[in-house]
Amino acid sequence: MATRRIPLVLLACGSFNPITNQHMRLFELARDHMHSTGQYQVVGGIVSPVSDGYGKRGLVLAQHRIAMAKLALQSSDWVTVDEWESQQADWTETAVTMRYHYGRILKEYERSTGEHKDSSGNPSPLSSPCPQLKLLCGADFLDTFQVPDLWLDDHVEEVAGHFGLICVSRGGLHPEQAVAASDTLSRHSHNIFLVREWVRNETSATEVRRALRRGLSVKYLIPDSVIEYIHQHNLYTEDSERRNKGRVLRPLAKQATQPGKSLDD
């Protein structure tokens, strides 16, 4: 019997401050790549903007970041925006967010295979393999595993080992090096998919915010509907960039209080 492709959902966590064409490119590139392995069928994409509790410098209100992401993804038939993470009272660890989304995916899968069970209650052979959820990120994300106190050891295992990563490289970054530099990541290298982005496209949200502050055009870097929203609500000014100035990033504050667990290196 022919091997069935594994249904795969891609989850991107991040500030999305604001969402850019480059963020949406990540999904497109990842989907193409995973399809070309012959093993996966990408069935969905989720954009999960971080909550305000993250405390990152220049982070505008989640309600705006969600609204902009929704506008940007209006025309997408497979990527959606999810508000769960942004609605949590405190900043949520990536592993926790992944567990939440995977729980939902699994529930849906069990519901649909439940409808296709044979008389003995076994899933019919025509039902698809169990779906997977992988974290979609840029290459710079891999380097964050090295930042002291930013990640819990167990979570690195869970995110890279149990779930898996799809990492799209940007500009001059070398993701292979980041994987090699970490014992944990190296151990799970078969579950870390590296995608090469051939377009040297450094459309970072930071640059977009900078251009907006200076009254320069960001057209063709982010969708028109998002530009309109930004102007309507006067987001991204010198004031907005000062938000959370001097504040400790929430994951660092939260995890520095945990019993010392060094990231292996």
Partner 1 sequence: MDGQHLTKVVLLACGSFNPITNMHLRMFELARDHLEDTGQYRVVKGIISPVGDAYKKKGLIEARHRLEMARLSTDSSDWITVDPWESVQPEWVETAKVVRHYYKEMLEAEQNTDDVDTVKYAKKRRIEENHFGVSSHQKKDGLQLMFLCGADVLESFGVPNLWKQEDINEIVGRYGMVCITRSGNDPHKFIHQSDKLWQYRQNIHVVREWVTNEISATQVRRSLRRGRSVRYLLPDGVVHYIQEHALYSAESEQRNAGVVLAPIQKNTEVS
3-state secondary structure of 163: helix
- Looking up tokens 């938000």 gives 243
Phi-psi region for residue 149, left (φ > 0), alpha (ψ -120 to 50) or beta? left
Dihedral angle over CA of 27, 33, 37, 39, nearest 10 = 10
Q: Which C-beta is closer to partner 1: that of 90 or that of 202?
A: 202
φ, ψ for residue 66, nearest 5 deg? -65, -50
Taking the C-alpha atoms of residue 147 and residue 111, their distance in angstroms, rounded to an integer, is 40
Q: Which C-beta is closer to partner 1: that of 75 or that of 237?
A: 75
> Is 203 a binder of partner 1 (CB under 8 A)?
yes
Q: Are the CB atoms for 159 and 135 separated by under 8 Å?
A: yes
Instruction: Report, in Å, the least distance between residue 211 CB and partner 1.
Output: 7
Kind of pairing between the strands at 165-169 and 79-81: unpaired
Q: Are the CB atoms for 139 and 174 separated by under 8 Å?
A: yes
Which of 5, 6, 15, 21 is the binder for partner 1 (CB under 8 A)?
21
Handedness of CA 194, 160, 59, 88 (dihedral sign): positive
Taking the C-alpha atoms of residue 130 and residue 213, their distance in angstroms, rounded to an integer, is 47
Q: Which C-beta is closer to partner 1: that of 21 or that of 113?
A: 21
Kind of pairing between the strands at 132-138 and 6-14: parallel
| Segment 78 to 117, residues that bind partner 1, using CB under 8 A | none
Kind of pairing between the strands at 165-169 and 192-196: parallel
Q: Which C-beta is closer to partner 1: that of 66 or that of 221?
A: 221
> Is 190 a binder of partner 1 (CB under 8 A)?
no
Q: Are the CB atoms for 9 and 43 separated by under 8 Å?
A: yes
Interface region with partner 1, contact rule CB under 8 A, candidates 45-53, 149-157, 185-193, 205-213: 205-213
Which of 37, 63, 75, 124 is the binder for partner 1 (CB under 8 A)?
75
Interface region with partner 1, contact rule CB under 8 A, candidates 16-24, 93-101, 245-253, 257-265: 16-24
Q: Which C-beta is closer to partner 1: that of 78 or that of 84?
A: 78
Which of 22, 92, 94, 184 is the binder for partner 1 (CB under 8 A)?
22
Q: Which C-beta is closer to partner 1: that of 12 or that of 95?
A: 12
Burial class (CB in 10 A: 0-12, 13-18, 19+), 51: buried
> Is 201 a binder of partner 1 (CB under 8 A)?
yes
| Segment 211 to 230, residues that bind partner 1, using CB under 8 A | 211, 216-217, 219-221, 224
Residues in contact with partner 1, counted by CB under 8 A, come to a total of 26
CB atoms within 10 A of CB 61: 14
Interface region with partner 1, contact rule CB under 8 A, candidates 17-25, 91-99, 120-128, 176-184: 17-25
> Site map for partner 1, 142-171, x if CB under 8 A?
-----------------------------x
Q: Return residues touching partner 1 (CB under 8 A).
A: 21-22, 24-25, 28-29, 31-32, 75, 171, 198-204, 207-208, 211, 216-217, 219-221, 224
